[in-house]
């Protein structure tokens, strides 16, 4: 009825945005006998973790309904720059999509944007960084990344919204990716 895949960072989930071939196209080619394979949701190319794929239209419809009705519980680990202090914090900041002059898709906090809600839980804290769990209550493009960057806690290795000089040093020291991982998804099974 569905597949769950643990996607590595750097792999596109579908073709587009300069990538002609993604996970879904690869699966379709690898499994020609599967008459139906569709993404239930998306992950940013830079994010690793759980990706759900519907093998039947009926399963995909149920998963999409759960996403729309906010019944699907999606949680991520994020390693951020700075000392996060609150054990639990709800962030409700509207997000607006826009294109840069170069045609790159970006997101910013804006009163004209769409409502978005992320719950952050502090898991560990060190002098210059913190490990958070991010629970999505809405699923806007780049939601976790933009909320954290706006609050002054950019995700380590985030080359779109992060601290560029810090990321350069981290890359030199061995961090070759963004420190955001989709670690848990809880949902009602489609059947």
* Catalytically annotated residues: 44
Residues 6+ apart with CB under 8 A from 10: 45, 46, 177
Q: If we measure between CA atoms, which residue out of 155, 171, 166 comes closest to residue 47? A: 155
**Residue pair 132/78 in contact by the 8 Å Cβ criterion:** yes
Whether the Cβ atoms of residue 54 and residue 37 lie closer than 8 Å to each other: yes
Q: Which of 183, 5, 4 has its CA nearest to residue 79?
A: 183
- CA dist 140 → 63, 94, 118, 129, 145 (Å): 17, 9, 10, 25, 10
């Amino acid at each position: 009825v569905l597949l769950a895949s643990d996607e590595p960072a750097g792999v596109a989930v579908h073709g587009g945005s300069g990538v002609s071939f993604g996970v879904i196209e690869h699966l379709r080619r690898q499994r020609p006998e599967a008459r139906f394979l569709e993404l239930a949701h998306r992950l940013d190319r830079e994010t690793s973790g759980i990706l759900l794929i519907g093998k039947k239209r009926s399963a995909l419809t149920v998963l999409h309904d759960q996403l729309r009705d906010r019944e699907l519980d999606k949680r991520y680990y994020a390693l951020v720059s700075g000392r996060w202090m609150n054990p639990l914090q709800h962030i409700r900041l509207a997000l607006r999509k826009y294109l840069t002059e170069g045609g790159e898709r970006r997101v910013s906090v804006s009163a004209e944007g769409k409502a978005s809600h992320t719950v952050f839980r502090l898991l560990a804290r060190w002098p210059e960084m913190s490990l958070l769990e991010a629970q999505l209550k809405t699923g806007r493009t780049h939601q976790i990344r933009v909320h954290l960057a706006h609050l002054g806690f950019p995700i380590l290795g985030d080359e779109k919204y992060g601290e560029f000089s810090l990321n350069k040093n981290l890359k030199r020291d061995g961090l070759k990716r963004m420190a955001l991982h989709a670690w848990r998804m809880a949902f009602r099974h489609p059947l």
